Structure 1
């Protein structure tokens, strides 16, 4: 089976969030800005997915690096998880042809169906060769158990295709994460979503640096030089560690707290109905592929909303 070259494209992984019914005019105006920031966060993840897909192409074909089909497949899979349609098609092609992977029409059919649903014409044509869609999903696309610490995930694979400046910041995030008992994957997800690893970033709300600390949060976690990359990252990781303890390891609530503040999470007893925050949480969960994270209960008492929110989360499995 032949495979042509196609232009890269991204898609809305989880879609825009609905605004709360009955919002007042001031909230609606704020949500315009929120939607714009949410779209910017989504663009960061789409860009990262393209990085991974491009790196996968290099390893699949030996372009500038040693040819490693298995590594290419892993990179394609991670990119597909983040919504890259070309990665879905390419991984499906590898399964359909048994190139570096065990041949599986069932897995190929699933991946082609995913890509075709998103408008990939060649994937739609390839479905005639793989048979009817039967719902088989490759193991690499299955979310790992909540207790597993990011099995098979490689920070270096995500960092490798970045620019030199972004690599330096990304490695600092990953290296420091262990000091705060935070998964490197979660630390990188927050840093990418916040600033795209820009140590000089400033938001309209005066959030500063890699981890986009507002002045109050910087002071709370003893950050005196917010544009010093290491000091800023340490402050952001300290806050994230506190949020994980406060929300008892719930990644969605911790991410929502990081974006909107823990009081907003408590006010709405879950992820607030702000377009920016819901898009933010969606990006982080898509990157993480799991909802739970280890935490140190000694850091702080739990939020008073935790028992009820955890019950809803366990029953519904969603945000």
Structure 2
């Protein structure tokens, strides 16, 4: 069994700050990630979680928000490899790697809750698809680099990370469509 060194914290109503490596209460939020585990997540895009566990949630969000189910799966695969506890080096959280400000704007209270994260991420994807007039590549570029950068460059920004991300997600989407 793999050891985890993530640290969680919450501040109670008396102002006392509590820390733990084994949260037993929903009030605990991630405070510090295990850097070694985070590096493993960034370098491996093999699925580390169980996609079947999220199938019904993905399906219902796909229908509710009108987003292709295979695209949702591809984004989750590329973003977190289906690890609901994933945190990027820039602070994005959960299955769909929502940045804290984006999660807050989407009314996602707990980005590590798979249901909240997927609902929020799919709503955001729907917004980006609408804003980009259905252009999946542009929506994915905006998901990765930000809508303002897509607007600034009038298309996919000239960042290798973003271009690779868009290609990878589109490839994953094709694979999910054919299975």
Q: TM-score, normalised by structure 1?
A: 0.40
Cα distance in 1 between the residues matched to 2:51 and 2:72: 14
CA-to-aligned-CA distance 1:23-55 (integer Å, 9 cap, x gap): xxxxxxxxxxxxx99x84xx52xx47xxxxxxx
Are 1:280 and 2:165 matched, yes or no?
yes
Structure 2 spans left out of the alignment, 5+ residues: 1-38, 175-179
C-alpha contact (below 8 Å) 1:223/1:231 kept by paired residues: yes
CA RMSD of aligned residues (A): 2.2
From 232, 250, 254, the equivalent of 2:117 is: 232
Cα distance in 1 between the residues matched to 2:56 and 2:141: 24
Q: 4+ residue runs of structure 1 moved beyond 4 angstroms?
A: none
Cα distance in 2 between the residues matched to 1:175 and 1:194: 20
Are 1:243 and 2:131 matched, yes or no?
no
Partner of 1:269: 154
CA-to-aligned-CA distance 1:205-248 (integer Å, 9 cap, x gap): 11000010001100111101111100011110000000000000
Residue 278 (structure 1) shift: 0.5
C-alpha contact (below 8 Å) 1:265/1:271 kept by paired residues: yes
Cα distance in 1 between the residues matched to 2:171 and 2:110: 32
Q: TM-score, normalised by structure 2?
A: 0.69
User: What is the aligned residue count?
Assistant: 135
Are 1:175 and 2:60 matched, yes or no?
yes
Are 1:254 and 2:139 matched, yes or no?
yes
Cα distance in 1 between the residues matched to 2:127 and 2:160: 24
Cα distance in 2 between the residues matched to 1:208 and 1:277: 18
